[in-house]
Every structure is written in C-alpha cells, then in structure tokens.
Amino acid sequence: MAIRKLRYEGDPILNKVCKPVYDMTDRTLELIEDMAETMYETGGVGLAAPQVGILKRICVIDVTPDCSELLILINPEIIETSGSQTGSEGCLSVPNKSGTVTRPNVVKVKALNTNMEEVIIEGTELLARALCHEIDHLDGKLYIDLVEGDLETYTDED
C-alpha cells in the first residue's frame, strides 16, 4: 500500500468524466487500497480515483469517527434520493476551504464491490452527502460549483 499524490483544483483531470470498471485486476485492487490509505492518512471522509489522477469510476468513503466502515464503490450510480440537507462541505482537492452545499438527505446507491458483485448502499446525512460528493467527482464535478454564498477559507490551526 502507498499514499498517492493528490490532485488539486485547477488540475484538468478533476473535470474529466471517469470510465467504468469492467473487470477487477490486481492493479485496480492496489489502487483501491492506496486510495483508502490516502483518504485515512489525509483525514478525509471520501476520495475518488480522479483525485489521485486515475480516471476510473471508483471511490472510497468512511464517515465513521473511528475509521471503522470503509465503503468501496465501483461504478456507483444514485438510484434514489429524498429530502434535503444544507451544510458545510469540503474536499481534499480544495485544501483549507469549505462551503455550504444543499444535498439530498437520503441517498440510495447501486455499485459494485471488489468482487464485481452488485451492492446497494443507503446513506443518510453525512453519508448521503459523501456519496453525492464522491460520485460527482467521477463525473468531473467539484462541490465548489454548488456552493451557496462564498467559499470560506480556514487555516490548519483553526
């Protein structure tokens, strides 16, 4: 496993549409392990493959405070949403910034696991937000385009 180099806002790779994964290979498994390690190391709750420079429809998410529930989503698709939530959002590719974004409060996602079996994941609140945010990355979209009002800047000391 290895920490991968993050791509930051302004890098054109973050605005590209990612390609579906058709079969699981050792190389893709290694990418997924590295993505999880990179997410945990940088303190994020989610990471999408384009953020480490790979244009594949893969993301990892863990919204638990003790990093105990790693979700791996391959070719994820939102199949149902309900309600709405308005709250603060940030992104590892846009360091030291946050902004207010409205998202669905409940999101149901169809995806493949690492065995390429279909799984359904339902998330509310923070998990619903993370699912929307990460799946947007796979379509080349960043949350900063959805921010209501101004992006806020903070420093690591805050």
Nearer to Ni ion, 24 or 142 (CB): 142
Residue 147 binding Ni ion, by CB under 5 A:
no
* Per-position DSSP letters for 12-25, written without gaps between them: GGGGSPPBPP-S--
Task: Give me the catalytic one of 30, 41, 89, 134.
Answer: 134
Kindly state the smallest distance separating residue 49's Cβ from Ni ion, in Å. Answer: 12
Q: How far is the CB of 33 from Ni ion (least distance, A)?
A: 19
Residues 90-119 that bind Ni ion (CB under 5 A): 91
By CB under 5 A, residue 52 contacts Ni ion: no
Residue 149 C-beta: closest distance to Ni ion, Å: 19
In DSSP notation, 39-70 reads HHHHT-SEEEGGGGT--BSEEEE---TTS---
Q: Is 132 in the site for Ni ion (CB under 5 A)?
A: no
d(CA 30, CA 78): 25
DSSP-assigned states of every residue in 137-152? HHTT--GGGT-EEEEE
Question: For residue 37, what is the enclosing H or E element?
Answer: helix 26-42
Comparing CB distances to Ni ion, the nearer of 12 and 117 is 12
Distance CA 98, CA 111 (A): 28
Residue whose CB is less far from Ni ion, 118 or 152: 152
Q: What is the set of active-site residues?
A: 134
